Structures are given as structure tokens and as C-alpha cells.
Structure 1
Amino acid sequence: MLKSKRDYKTLDKVVYFSIIEKIKTGELKPNEHLTEERLSKELGVSRSPIRKAITALVAEGVLDYRTYSGVVVKDSLVDSTRYVQLLEVIELFVKATLEKIEQMETEISTTDLRNCIQSMDRASYLKDLDEYLFNEHQFFLRLIAHSGNPYYKDMAKKVFFNITYFAVESINQINEDMRDRTIKHLNQIVDLLDKQAFQEANAEIKKLLGEFVVNAFR
């Protein structure tokens, strides 16, 4: 499960987010070589937390180990075009999940989904966009988890990781009107899922993701 930024308090996580910020601001560029020694000097910490942070970021696909080059920065920035491509991945996973649920006649519990929506509503009221987006992503992850396919869930987690930490500022700057419309859409989707109207729910999700795309290009 993805975690909110506020859940990370250890030194290796401080280093982890420092590296992410350097990549997002362009201080670290794609294919740039990284060393523990360099980061230790720049961040003023020992190599142990740096090693842990690098290992985690390699697992996330942000950094890469290359033969003869060591650790290098990958191109992770999400502009509007890449954002659309990532949403297409989520749309495919959701569609496959709902088709599988319908075919297998699997019962789906929507309690967790409704809890995510309630948390989004509360975060929106408090203007806490980090928490709002965290729970929005959790909604889709919990829905996709009903596919029973761990590959879907793992890939979706990586998609939302990239959107959370590497999207250009305009993508995650969601105004109040858009937040209200999203919450309304999600409530309609859950109502349709409770009625086992899976095709209609998928159509509503497709419409919502389309609104995300429009918002990204404003």
C-alpha cells in the first residue's frame, strides 16, 4: 500500500524524499550518475541511510543499477502527456478488474471504498491536497485489488507513485470544484458497484478519468 508522506520519519526516508525532490526540481537529471559518497556530502548524513534510500528508489523504478555505471537517475517526470498514458494504464486495470468480478460473480465489499471517499471529502474540506490525493489513489488501488491479480496492483502502485511524486505541479493542483465533482463521481461508482452494475460503473470511471485528463491540460 502507498503511504502518505507524513508517515515517513526515519533518516533514510528523509534522504529518500530529498533525492526525489532533487530529481523533480531538475537538480538531478536523467542518466546522471549517483554515488553514496556524493549524496553523503550533499545531504550531510552517513552512507547507511543513503544506501537504504537508494535501494528503495531502485525498487520503485526511480533509480537504476547499470553495469559499469553504478546507480543512475531514470526519467521519471510526469508531464501532461505522460499523465494521460498513466491514466490509460489505470483505466485498463479497472476495466479488467470489473470484467473479472462480473464473470466470476464475485461479491465485492465497498466499505473500504466508501471510507476512502469519506477521507477525501474530509481532506478536501481541510484543503489538505496530499491527503486528498493519497485517498483518491487508495480508492483505485483497493478497487483493482479485487482483481486478485498482484501484477495489476503492483503496476497501479507504481503509476500512482509517479503521479504523486513526479507529476508537474499543475496536475496535482486540483481546485475545489474538481474535488467536489470527483467525490460525486466516486459515490456514484460505489452505488453502481453495490448494485452489481459493473459495466455502468466502468463507464462512470472512464468518464471520471477523462475529467482528470481535461484538468491536467488546463
Structure 2
Amino acid sequence: MEKQNYEKKAYETMKEKILNGQLRTGDRVPENTIAKELGISRTPVRRALVMLETEGFLTIESNRGAFVCESKVTVGKFIEMLEMLEVLTIKTMDKIETKGISFDPQHLYRRLSVMEGHLKTENSNGFVEEGWQTVFDFIAYMGNSYADIAVRKMGIDFLTKAPKEIILIPFHNGAYLIEQFLRMNELLRMKNFDKAETIVRELVNYFIIKTFR
């Protein structure tokens, strides 16, 4: 096997361990263990570590080794985002119901129409960005500045720090996502809040399962 292939294998192996949570934020990357596991020398492993540092997955400290960064959106972090969005979305629905807040379904329909256009033209970046804006617009109904800031930060982190494999999960399941958003929107228009909340929980569970496949 060529040296370049050794580096690629080491890179892919360590990246997968980070993304699937085997190596967590703050963990020291076991350089020797990785080399033994792959049956290669430490040199290509070190080169792969530098590549991962460049991409923001790791920090390499002199005389201490390489450590997993918290700046990257790993699989575990993405699932935390999904769970937080579930809580905030349901709280927003509760606020709309209990406070009698006027809900405008047409605004979200327009957002979903834009998402549908991006899906048809295979514009993954546009689709994902519009999806986050759709979520942000809905959470704004809660009228809570802390929730607004939290969702805005999650969106920025996802779009700027998540690896491509994670960013593309919503896009690859775009037709289903739009379908569920439309169902939720219609249920809210009809003031059927219980069923709308069920849609949210099912949607989050669906994406958690898809993340591990």
C-alpha cells in the first residue's frame, strides 16, 4: 500500500471515531493505538492528525499530543441539537396555544416552497440554510430572546462547523422533511396542537435514526 493510502486510511479511521462518538471532545487521540490497529507506522498517522487539525477536528499540542476539539459538530453534537430543537419547538407550540398567538401559516408555506425549489435543483447549501431559517422563524413565535439566540447559534455552528456528511443529512431526506413540515403547518393552522407536537417528536426520532445509518 502506498504512503498516501496509509495516510488516507488513518485519516478516515480517526475521523469516523470522532464523528461516531468513540473519540469525544477533550479526548487524547491514541496515536500508537491507531497505528497498531491499522498495522502501519506512526508517520502516516501523524500526517493524518495534521489534516484533521486543519479541518478543525483536533488541536495538536506540543509534547502532549492531539486532542479532539469541541468546535466541530460531531454526530453526538448534532443529536443534541435535534433534541434541543424538539424541546424549543414544542414549547413554542404550547406558547401559541396558551397565549392565543396569531400564527401565519402562509409565511412558512413560502419558506417551504423555497426549500422545495432548492431540493429540485439539488442546491444542498441553499436547502439547509433555508431549513434553519424556517426553524428560526417558527421559534420566534415564542417571543424569547434567549431561545432566538440559541437557535441562531445552533444554525451557524451547523452550517460552518459540521462536516459535509452531517450537513447533507437534512438534504438527503429533504422530501420527507418538507412533507412533515407541511403536515405540522397544517395542523397548527387547524389548532390541532397535540398532533403537531407528535409530528415534531417523530421527525426528530427519524433524523436521529438516519444519523446512525
Q: Work out whether the TM-score is over 0.5.
A: yes
Are 2:96 and 1:101 equivalent residues in the alignment? yes
Residues 53 and 59 in structure 2, CA contact (< 8 A), matched pair in contact too: no
Structure 2: which 5+ residue stretches go unaligned?
Answer: 1-50, 62-68
Which residue of the other structure, out of 103, 120, 124, is the alignment partner of 1:125? 120
Residues 189 and 201 in structure 1, CA contact (< 8 A), matched pair in contact too: yes
Could you list the runs of 4 or more consecutive aligned residues of structure 1 that deviate by over 4 angstroms after TM superposition? 28-33
Are 2:21 and 1:26 equivalent residues in the alignment? no
Report what 1:209 is aligned to. Answer: 204
Distance in 1 of aligned mates of 2:170 and 2:91: 30
Distance in 2 of aligned mates of 1:25 and 1:119: 35
Tell me which amino acid in the other structure corresponds to 1:26.
E
Distance in 1 of aligned mates of 2:60 and 2:153: 22
Distance in 2 of aligned mates of 1:174 and 1:187: 19
Give the CA RMSD over aligned residues. Answer: 2.5
Report what 1:79 is aligned to. Answer: 74
* Aligned length, in residue pairs: 157
Displacement after TM superposition at 1:75 (Å): 2.2
Displacement after TM superposition at 1:25 (Å): 5.2
TM-score of the two chains, using structure 1 as the length reference: 0.65
Q: Deviations over 1:63-103 (max 9, x none)?
A: xxxxxxxxxxx721111111111111111111111111111
Displacement after TM superposition at 1:125 (Å): 0.3
TM-score of the two chains, using structure 2 as the length reference: 0.67
Tell me which amino acid in the other structure corresponds to 2:152.
K
Distance in 1 of aligned mates of 2:178 and 2:131: 9
Residues 170 and 216 in structure 1, CA contact (< 8 A), matched pair in contact too: no
Report what 1:140 is aligned to. Answer: 135
Which residue of the other structure, out of 194, 214, 217, is the alignment partner of 2:189? 194
Displacement after TM superposition at 1:121 (Å): 0.4
Residues 97 and 147 in structure 1, CA contact (< 8 A), matched pair in contact too: yes
Report the identity percentage. 19
Q: Aligned in 2, Cα 1:177/1:167: closer, same or farther, shift over 3 Å?
A: closer
Which residue of the other structure, out of 157, 164, 172, is the alignment partner of 1:162? 157
Displacement after TM superposition at 1:174 (Å): 3.6
Greater C-alpha radius of gyration: 2
Q: Aligned in 2, Cα 1:25/1:137: closer, same or farther, shift over 3 Å?
A: farther
Tell me which amino acid in the other structure corresponds to 1:115.
R
Displacement after TM superposition at 1:29 (Å): 6.3
Structure 1: which 5+ residue stretches go unaligned?
Answer: 1-23, 34-73
Identify the structure with bigger relative contact order (alpha carbons < 8 Å, sequence gap 6+).
1
Displacement after TM superposition at 1:111 (Å): 1.9
Q: Which deviates more from structure 2 when the two are superposed, residues 169-178 or residues 132-141?
A: 169-178
